[in-house]
């Protein structure tokens, strides 16, 4: 079982006696010896602990040794703890008493106070069976910190303590006078001091390797010095690990100081994890991509929780918030470090999980975290994950994992010192291979959640690692597409409030990380390669060939394929069809010869070229439009006239003539001229049947149904059209029937309010449309509530007298009304302050309309927003009836708006929604979201915040709306930029994000892969794990592969044909012409057919033929524009800012 991991930078040293050597010459690159892992033989177990904790013996810490140990073991139940006070001058003992003689080196303080106190406590029976170790945190020369532990065969002995003292003398700038003169004299004979340069850091690591090879050195808070001269770069990490792979084998990926206002004391923390760990495809993945056994860990970096003066906060107690889970064989610190060195470990924040078993199996072989599974190319791989969480964490809150990510990357071998690869800090192959939610796991009898997943057959060297979180995929301010967002600094000025907010932040943002499992694949032999290629080689359906066949020249595993046709005069050896439609079907054979090295095999494919005897020589094609010019689909009901036209195509020779005929409503066939418009305007169900015949009497028939209804339905009230009630009495809605000659669309909509607790006259309105969109004449019922003596009620189930109607009554088709059901609303004498929950606005197509529900919303509908006169209805949904919004914090009531004229509007309306200002979180703002029914999720719109506690948006569709708490992402180079109005919405939708330095780089160019990813995310298309068929699929970056595949499946991209292959060119900068094609396809336009005359740009002739209709479509839709000089510039390369503007306008055109 394996919980999650994080990285911490600490160095603890265990003491070992040994001879020292003189200063070692260091070169600029360090080749890596093989790491050796020694383990003690015993039954292993999972143990929890950490190696980065401070006591009073660090001058910046505020707790005693005993207090730290009590919290670690008795309150937080750790199994082991490595102390790591600063290897500096120390002015206090372990209890915090100031030393009378002044500060002393830490190594001396350990010998005088810490180590004796630990022995005393354990000898007295405290901390039984716990592993306690005295390490230290070293200021690496010219770098930040490292946690060091010097391990010898005699922990805590006088000789071991002397080794720590020697390390402090040699590798820090302590004064020589602070050490025993006799020791100094001895040490001078063994080597020179080295504490000033970066090379001195490497000298110290070599010294540990040569004299105390069981020791450890972990990089602490690795990114804290990012951007400074002390920054730890990936080349430094590679050097350290190459010099001593058994010692420098990990880092603090999940740093301590989680209670700091700037989480983990770094601007590059994501979900509390260092960016080196948190960024998929980043620094850690680059190291793993070399096959390095370099692991991640977590720590508290405890100095104090909240300072004694209640002004500052720093970190949690050891084991309170972060834990490392390590498989340990033995009961000593050496066994613990061997367990860490093996990589069988995971790290966790907030007790998100407390058990994890992660393994990959193949053919009876199994490896767990830190292991390397040896397989043969083509072997099947099965992955299993078992995890569980405690009932509550140390904050007293229930714990639940939202999802677990399986992250995979390629292993391509070691980077050589001095090469560009040695300084490269990314692994472009790394991606989230699969995201598992509760829908993907089962729970076994032991309470473990179990996930099994079949990986692709082994084909290349890879690693697989896990991360998990309690957060959803898109939580504003926390995650975007499942990736953690940068942690902002808490700037609350009130100390106690700030402490509480930080703690709440941390326990609402919890993660775990596992170390990886490597899979090493032995390549196929030549025979295996050709056999596997032959088994998988396919040409698809070749039973009715009418065009060229694409014959691959290269196969899998480096194989080459040669083709031979048995009838090259009909179908050439390279797949070209030389004779189309021979008189008879012609069978032939294609022989593929698959070769690698000296081995080859053949595979035969049966092919039939389709002949004239097996084809339909004539086909008919139609175009149908309604009177307003919109496309019409046969069989739909419409209240407009319909115009149809037909033309024929001929596929066979010889044909000398075509005869076209038309039969209307099963009448006799009459002669018809190609593309002649036929208008149908009479009400009723009609059929246009077109027939074509060639001179060889081969026929094609096309039947087009047309349904027209001009007559509106009729509404008949049940009961009277006026009701009189006494104040406080019950009102029972009787409903209404609707009849229509061809049928109505849904039930009668009843809207209005009757409040029997308040005298007055109330109006209920009844509306319905028929299948063709004809609106019935509105019928009203008035209800008069007269003042007088209120009725008393003994009915305990009676409700408030405020009755709101947005329900439906019965409707029927045919010539008579039907249905007897009715909606009933009870009222009582009890007063109510509730607002009405529904309303209806009469809307005129050529007139501005306004409406409002007091305290809920108001709407301004401009002239021309709706296509026809009708009504807009508004319903306030109960919170339990509204669609789930995940972790979004609701600030308003949920409102549903619908129009009888259709919910997609020709012009945007101004919608103003009331919200609860007191519920807006710090650094957040209220934002309007709408619910997209097809995507089944709430989508960010944004809006302008008003002083009266409302938010106003301009939007061109009606739907469900609500105001949610939104934490905006501030990108410095967008302030005042012309594209900011576009980027704001796309950032809120999590379609785009900024870079790690909180910039957007609006003037950077954008590649085809980047554009495809933005487009797919904006349209809400489901990402695809299936990959693409592009010949250059391996060149598509891992972060964009799923979106490129989705775009290809949706038909948004088709690629380029080059040398018989289809390629995508993912990393090529996209042009305006290419953008126009993708945008046109997203608009569901037929980019391959004429859309009218291309807009009159001066450079129209330079627009490629394949893009002209698409450019026209995109320009006509207002998405693409020309430049000031009246040119379009199709080959111009778009910027990131221009892209956001285009995508924003596309969303508007699609009403998204």
Q: Per-residue pLDDT tens for 722-747?
A: 999 888 776 777 888 899 998 887 67
Q: Tell me, what's the pLDDT at 453?
A: 93
The H or E element that residue 236 is part of is: helix 234-243
Among residues 708, 631, 637, 646, the alpha carbon closest in space to that of 677 is found at 646
Whether the pLDDT of residue 753 is over 80: the answer is: no
State the chain's mean pLDDT as an integer. Answer: 86
Q: Do β-strands 714-717 and 250-254 pair in parallel, antiparallel, or remain unpaired?
A: unpaired
Determine the average pLDDT of the residues in 813-820: 31
* pLDDT band of 360, cuts 50, 70, 90: very high
Q: How many residues does the chain have?
A: 1152
Give CA 176 to chain center in angstroms.
56
Residue ranges of domains in the chain, CATH in brackets: 45-517 (3.20.20.140), 526-613 (2.60.40), 616-708 (2.60.40), 709-829 (2.60.40.10), 835-968 (2.60.220.50), 1008-1149 (no CATH)
Percent of the chain with pLDDT over 70: 89
Q: Tell me, what's the pLDDT at 745?
A: 73
Q: Record the tokens describing residue 1083, joined without a space.
A: 């608009």
The H or E element that residue 217 is part of is: strand 216-219
Among 71-80, 387-396, 748-757, 1083-1092, the range scoring the smallest mean pLDDT is 1083-1092
Q: Tell me, what's the pLDDT at 1084?
A: 66
Q: Record the tokens describing residue 181, joined without a space.
A: 């003169």
Q: Do β-strands 511-514 and 345-349 pair in parallel, antiparallel, or remain unpaired?
A: antiparallel
> How far apart (Å, rounded) are the C-alpha atoms in residues 987 and 247?
43
DSSP string, 609-675: E--GGGS--EEEEEEEEETTS-B--TT-EESS-EEEEEEEEE-SS----EEEEEEETT---EE--TT
Determine the average pLDDT of the residues in 225-236: 95
Question: Edge-to-edge strands of the sheet including 684-694?
Answer: 637-638, 699-708, 684-694, 658-664, 670-671
pLDDT tens-digit readout, 875-884: 888 877 888 8
> How far apart (Å, rounded) are the C-alpha atoms in residues 53 and 59?
13
pLDDT tens-digit readout, 551-561: 999 887 789 99
Looking at residue 265, what DSSP letter applies?
G
pLDDT tens-digit readout, 466-482: 999 999 999 988 999 89
Whether the pLDDT of residue 24 is over 90: the answer is: no
Among 120-129, 186-195, 483-492, 1085-1094, the range scoring the smallest mean pLDDT is 1085-1094
* pLDDT band of 1024, cuts 50, 70, 90: low
Determine the average pLDDT of the residues in 499-507: 95
Percent of the chain with pLDDT over 90: 55
Q: In this structure, are residues 919 and 891 in contact, taking their beta carbons and an 8 Å threshold?
A: yes
DSSP string, 492-527: -SSHHHHHHHHHHHHHTS-EEEE--EEEEEEPPPHH
> How far apart (Å, rounded) are the C-alpha atoms in residues 259 and 302?
10
Residue with the larger pLDDT of the pair 116 and 37: 116
3-state secondary structure of 882: coil
Determine the average pLDDT of the residues in 691-711: 87
Whether the pLDDT of residue 1093 is over 80: the answer is: no
* pLDDT band of 887, cuts 50, 70, 90: confident
* pLDDT band of 807, cuts 50, 70, 90: very low
The H or E element that residue 873 is part of is: strand 870-877
Q: Tell me, what's the pLDDT at 1096?
A: 63
Q: Do β-strands 381-388 and 355-362 pair in parallel, antiparallel, or remain unpaired?
A: antiparallel
Whether the pLDDT of residue 91 is over 80: the answer is: yes
Q: Tell me, what's the pLDDT at 733?
A: 76
Among 305-309, 422-426, 973-977, the range scoring the smallest mean pLDDT is 973-977
Whether the pLDDT of residue 3 is over 60: the answer is: no
Among 370-379, 698-707, 830-839, the range scoring the smallest mean pLDDT is 830-839
Q: Do β-strands 736-739 and 722-726 pair in parallel, antiparallel, or remain unpaired?
A: unpaired
Determine the average pLDDT of the residues in 483-504: 94
Whether the pLDDT of residue 16 is over 90: the answer is: no
Q: Tell me, what's the pLDDT at 657?
A: 75
Residue with the larger pLDDT of the pair 701 and 143: 143
Among 219-228, 385-394, 988-997, the range scoring the smallest mean pLDDT is 988-997
Q: Tell me, what's the pLDDT at 618?
A: 74
Q: Tell me, what's the pLDDT at 209?
A: 97
Helix and strand tally (H, E) in the chain? Answer: 19, 58
DSSP string, 152-194: -SSTT-HHHHHHHHHHHHHHS---GGGS-HHHHHHHHHH----
Among residues 679, 551, 672, 680, the alpha carbon closest in space to that of 603 is found at 551
Determine the average pLDDT of the residues in 688-713: 88
Whether the pLDDT of residue 790 is over 50: the answer is: no
Q: In this structure, are residues 1133 and 1011 in contact, taking their beta carbons and an 8 Å threshold?
A: no
Question: What is the chain's alpha carbon radius of gyration, rounded to the nearest angstrom?
Answer: 37
Among 170-184, 530-544, 833-847, the range scoring the smallest mean pLDDT is 833-847
pLDDT tens-digit readout, 769-781: 888 889 899 999 9
Determine the average pLDDT of the residues in 12-32: 35
Q: Is 1084 left (phi over 0), alpha (psi -120 to 50) or beta?
A: left
3-state secondary structure of 739: strand
DSSP string, 803-839: EEE--EE----BSS--------B---SS---PPPSEE
Among 277-286, 438-447, 1114-1123, the range scoring the smallest mean pLDDT is 1114-1123
**What spatial distance separates the first Cα and last Cα of the chain, rounded to whole Å?**
44
> How far apart (Å, rounded) are the C-alpha atoms in residues 518 and 360?
9
* pLDDT band of 827, cuts 50, 70, 90: very low
Q: Tell me, what's the pLDDT at 90?
A: 97
* pLDDT band of 12, cuts 50, 70, 90: very low
pLDDT tens-digit readout, 218-228: 999 999 999 99
Q: Do β-strands 618-626 and 599-609 pair in parallel, antiparallel, or remain unpaired?
A: unpaired
Q: Is the sign of the CA dihedral 388, 393, 396, 400 positive or negative?
A: negative
pLDDT tens-digit readout, 596-618: 999 999 999 999 998 877 665 67
Whether the pLDDT of residue 835 is over 70: the answer is: no
∠ Cα 468 471 472 (to 5°):
105
Residue with the larger pLDDT of the pair 997 and 95: 95
CA distances (Å), origin 1098, targets 1095, 1102, 1106, 1123: 9, 9, 18, 10
Q: In this structure, are residues 756 and 741 in contact, taking their beta carbons and an 8 Å threshold?
A: no
CA distances (Å), origin 150, targets 168, 809, 1059: 12, 82, 62
∠ Cα 271 274 276 (to 5°):
125
Q: Tell me, what's the pLDDT at 655?
A: 58
Residue with the larger pLDDT of the pair 266 and 998: 266
Whether the pLDDT of residue 668 is over 70: the answer is: yes
pLDDT tens-digit readout, 298-353: 999 999 999 999 999 999 999 999 999 999 999 999 999 999 999 999 999 999 99
- Cα-Cα-Cα-Cα torsion 374, 378, 382, 383, nearest 10 degrees, comes to 60
């Amino acid at each position: 079982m394996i919980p999650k991991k994080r990285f911490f930078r600490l160095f603890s040293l265990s003491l070992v006696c040994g001879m020292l050597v003189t200063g070692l010459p260091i070169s600029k690159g360090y080749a890596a010896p093989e790491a050796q892992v020694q383990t003690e033989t015993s039954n292993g177990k999972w143990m929890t602990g950490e190696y980065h904790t401070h006591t009073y013996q660090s001058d910046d810490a505020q707790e005693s040794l005993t207090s730290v140990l009590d919290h670690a073991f008795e309150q937080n139940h750790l199994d082991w703890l490595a102390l790591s006070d600063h290897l500096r001058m120390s002015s206090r003992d372990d209890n915090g008493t100031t030393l009378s003689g002044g500060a002393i080196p830490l190594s001396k303080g350990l010998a005088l106070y810490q180590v004796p106190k630990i022995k005393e406590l354990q000898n007295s029976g405290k901390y039984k069976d716990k592993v306690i170790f005295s390490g230290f945190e070293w200021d690496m020369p010219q770098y930040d910190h490292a946690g060091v532990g010097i391990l010898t065969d005699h922990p805590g002995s006088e000789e071991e303590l002397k080794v720590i003292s020697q390390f402090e003398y040699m590798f820090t700038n302590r004064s020589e006078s602070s050490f025993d003169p006799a020791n100094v004299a001895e040490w001078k004979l063994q080597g020179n001091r080295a504490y000033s340069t970066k090379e001195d850091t490497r000298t110290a690591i070599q010294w540990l390797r040569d004299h105390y090879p069981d020791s450890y050195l972990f990089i602490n808070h690795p990114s804290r010095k990012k951007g400074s001269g002390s920054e730890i770069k990936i080349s430094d990490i590679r050097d350290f690990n190459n010099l001593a792979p058994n010692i420098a084998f990990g880092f603090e990926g999940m740093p301590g100081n989680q209670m700091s206002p700037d989480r983990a004391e770094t601007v590059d923390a994501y979900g509390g994890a260092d960016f080196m760990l948190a960024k998929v495809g980043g620094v850690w993945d680059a190291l793993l991509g070399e096959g390095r056994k370099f692991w991640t860990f977590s720590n508290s970096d405890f100095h104090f929780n909240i300072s004694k003066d209640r002004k500052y906060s720093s970190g949690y107690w050891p084991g309170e918030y972060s834990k490392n889970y390590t498989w340990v064989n033995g009961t000593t610190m050496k066994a613990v470090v061997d367990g860490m060195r093996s990589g069988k470990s995971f790290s966790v924040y907030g007790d998100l999980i407390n058990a994890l078993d992660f393994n990959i199996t193949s053919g009876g072989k199994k490896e767990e975290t830190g292991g390397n599974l040896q397989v043969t190319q083509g072997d099947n791989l099965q992955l299993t994950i078992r995890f569980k969480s405690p009932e509550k964490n140390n904050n007293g809150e229930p714990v639940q994992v939202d999802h677990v990510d399986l992250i995979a990357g390629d292993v391509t071998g070691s980077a050589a010192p001095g090469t560009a690869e040695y300084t490269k800090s990314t692994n472009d192959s790394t991606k989230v291979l699969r995201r598992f939610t509760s829908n993907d796991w089962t729970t076994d009898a032991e309470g473990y959640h179990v996930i099994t997943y079949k990986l692709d057959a082994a084909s290349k060297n890879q690693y697989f690692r896990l991360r998990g979180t309690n957060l959803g995929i898109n939580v504003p301010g926390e995650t975007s597409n499942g990736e953690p967002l940068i942690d902002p600094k808490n700037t609350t000025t009130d100390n106690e409030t700030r402490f509480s907010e930080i703690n709440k932040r941390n326990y609402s943002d919890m993660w775990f990380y596992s170390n990886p499992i490597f899979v090493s694949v032995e390549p196929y032999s030549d025979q295996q390669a050709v056999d596997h290629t032959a088994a998988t080689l396919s040409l698809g359906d070749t039973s009715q060939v009418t065009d060229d066949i694409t014959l691959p020249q290269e196969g899998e595993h480096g194989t080459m394929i040669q083709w031979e046709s048995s009838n090259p005069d009909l179908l050439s050896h390279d797949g070209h069809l030389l004779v189309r439609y021979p008189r008879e079907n012609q069978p032939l054979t294609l022989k593929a010869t698959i070769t690698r090295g000296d081995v080859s095999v053949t595979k035969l494919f049966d092919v039939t070229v389709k002949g004239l005897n097996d084809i339909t020589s004539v086909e008919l094609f139609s175009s149908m439009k309604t009177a307003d010019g919109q496309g019409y689909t046969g069989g739909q009901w419409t209240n407009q006239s319909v115009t149809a036209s037909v033309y024929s195509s001929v596929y066979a020779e010889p044909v000398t003539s075509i005869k076209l005929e038309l039969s209307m409503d099963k009448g006799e066939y009459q002669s018809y001229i190609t593309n002649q418009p036929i208008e149908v305007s009479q009400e009723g169900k009609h059929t246009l049947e077109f027939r074509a015949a060639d001179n060889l009497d081969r026929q094609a028939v096309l039947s087009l149904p047309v349904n027209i209804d001009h007559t509106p339905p009729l509404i008949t009230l049940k009961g009277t059209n006026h009701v009189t009630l006494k104040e406080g009495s019950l009102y029972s809605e009787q409903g209404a029937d609707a009849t229509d000659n061809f049928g109505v669309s849904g039930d009668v909509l009843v809207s209005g309010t009757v409040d029997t607790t308040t005298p007055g006259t109330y109006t209920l309105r009844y509306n319905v449309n028929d299948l063709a969109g004809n609106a019935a004449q509105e019928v009203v019922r008035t209800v008069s509530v007269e003042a007088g003596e209120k009725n008393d009620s003994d009915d305990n189930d009676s409700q408030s007298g405020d009755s709101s109607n947005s329900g439906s009554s019965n409707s029927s088709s045919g010539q008579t009304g039907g249905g007897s059901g009715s909606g009933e609303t009870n009222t009582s004498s009890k007063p109510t302050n509730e607002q009405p929950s529904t309303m209806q606005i009469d809307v005129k197509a050529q007139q501005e309309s306004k409406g409002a529900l007091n305290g809920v919303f108001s709407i301004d509908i401009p002239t021309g927003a709706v296509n026809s006169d009708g009504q807009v209805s508004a319903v306030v949904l109960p919170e339990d009836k509204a669609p789930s919004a995940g972790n979004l914090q609701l600030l308003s009531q949920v409102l549903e708006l619908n129009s009888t004229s259709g919910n997609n509007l020709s012009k945007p309306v101004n919608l103003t929604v009331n919200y609860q200002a007191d519920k807006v979180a710090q650094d957040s703002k209220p934002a309007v979201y709408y619910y997209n029914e097809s995507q089944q999720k709430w989508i960010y719109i944004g809006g302008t915040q008003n002083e009266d506690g409302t938010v106003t948006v301009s939007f061109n569709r009606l739907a469900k709306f609500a105001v949610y708490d939104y934490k905006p992402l501030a990108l410095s180079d967008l302030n005042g930029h012309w594209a900011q109005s576009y980027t704001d919405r796309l950032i809120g939708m999590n379609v785009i994000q900024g870079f790690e330095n909180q910039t957007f780089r609006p003037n950077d160019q954008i590649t085809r892969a980047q554009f495809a990813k933005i487009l797919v995310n904006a349209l809400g298309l489901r990402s695809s794990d299936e990959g693409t068929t592009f010949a250059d699929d391996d060149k598509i970056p891992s972060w964009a592969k799923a979106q490129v595949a989705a775009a290809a499946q949706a038909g948004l991209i088709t690629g380029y044909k080059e040398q018989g292959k289809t390629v995508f060119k993912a990393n090529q900068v996209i042009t305006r012409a290419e953008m126009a094609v993708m945008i046109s396809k997203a608009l569901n336009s037929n980019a391959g057919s004429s859309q009218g005359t291309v807009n009159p740009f001066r450079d129209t002739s330079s627009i490629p033929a394949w893009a002209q209709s698409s450019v026209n479509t995109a320009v006509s839709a207002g998405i693409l524009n020309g430049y000031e000089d009246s040119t379009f510039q199709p080959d111009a390369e778009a910027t990131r800012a221009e892209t956001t503007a285009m995508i924003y306008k596309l969303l508007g055109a699609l009403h998204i």
